[in-house]
Amino acid sequence: MQTRIETLQNGLGEAVELIKKGEVVVFPTETVYGLGANAFDPNAVRKIFAAKGRPADNPLIVHIADISWIDRLAVDVSRSAREVIKTFMPGPITVILKRSNLVPDEVTAGLDSVGIRFPIHKAAREFISACGVPLAAPSANTSTKISPTSAEHVFEDMQGKVKLILQGGDCEVGIESTIIDMTSDTPTILRPGAITVDMLAQVLGKVKTFDGRIVVAKAPGMKYRHYAPSCDMVVADSQESAAAEYAGKVADGKKPVILAKQDYIDGIRKLLGKFDFIDLGQSDNDAMRLIYKAMHEAQQSFDYIICQDFGGDGVGASIMNRINKASGGKRV
Contact between 150 and Mg ion by CB under 5 A: the answer reads no
For the bound state, the minimum distance from the C-beta of residue 311 to ligand AMP, rounded and expressed in Å, comes to: 30
294 binds, among ligand AMP, Mg ion, none (CB under 5 to 8 A by kind): none
Is residue 26 exposed (0-12), middle (13-18) or buried (19+ Cβ within 10 Å)?
Answer: buried
For the bound state, the minimum distance from the C-beta of residue 140 to ligand AMP, rounded and expressed in Å, comes to: 9
For the bound state, the minimum distance from the C-beta of residue 58 to Mg ion, rounded and expressed in Å, comes to: 9
**How far out from the chain centre does Cα 254 lie?**
36
Contact between 139 and Mg ion by CB under 5 A: the answer reads yes
Spell out the long-range contacts of 194-202 with Cβ–Cβ below 8 A and sequence spacing 24 or more.
194/31, 194/91, 194/92, 194/93, 195/88, 195/91, 195/92, 195/93, 199/88, 200/84, 200/88, 202/226
> Which residue in 2, 64, 73, 63 sits closest to 34, CA to CA?
63
For the bound state, the minimum distance from the C-beta of residue 183 to ligand AMP, rounded and expressed in Å, comes to: 8
For the bound state, the minimum distance from the C-beta of residue 82 to ligand AMP, rounded and expressed in Å, comes to: 18
d(CA 14, CA 262): 36
Residue closest to Mg ion (Cβ): 139
Cβ nearer to Mg ion, comparing 139 with 202: 139
What Rg, from alpha-carbon coordinates, does the chain have? 22
Q: Would you tell me which residues interact with ligand AMP (CB under 6 A)?
A: 58-61, 96, 108, 111, 113-115, 138-139, 176, 179, 190
Cβ nearer to ligand AMP, comparing 194 with 272: 194
Which residues make Cβ contacts (< 8 Å) with residue 182, sequence separation at least 6? 77, 78, 80, 81, 84, 95, 96, 97
Binding piece for Mg ion, criterion CB under 5 A, among 21-29, 41-49, 139-147, 209-217 = 139-147
Cβ nearer to Mg ion, comparing 139 with 149: 139
Binders of Mg ion in range 304-323 (CB under 5 A): none
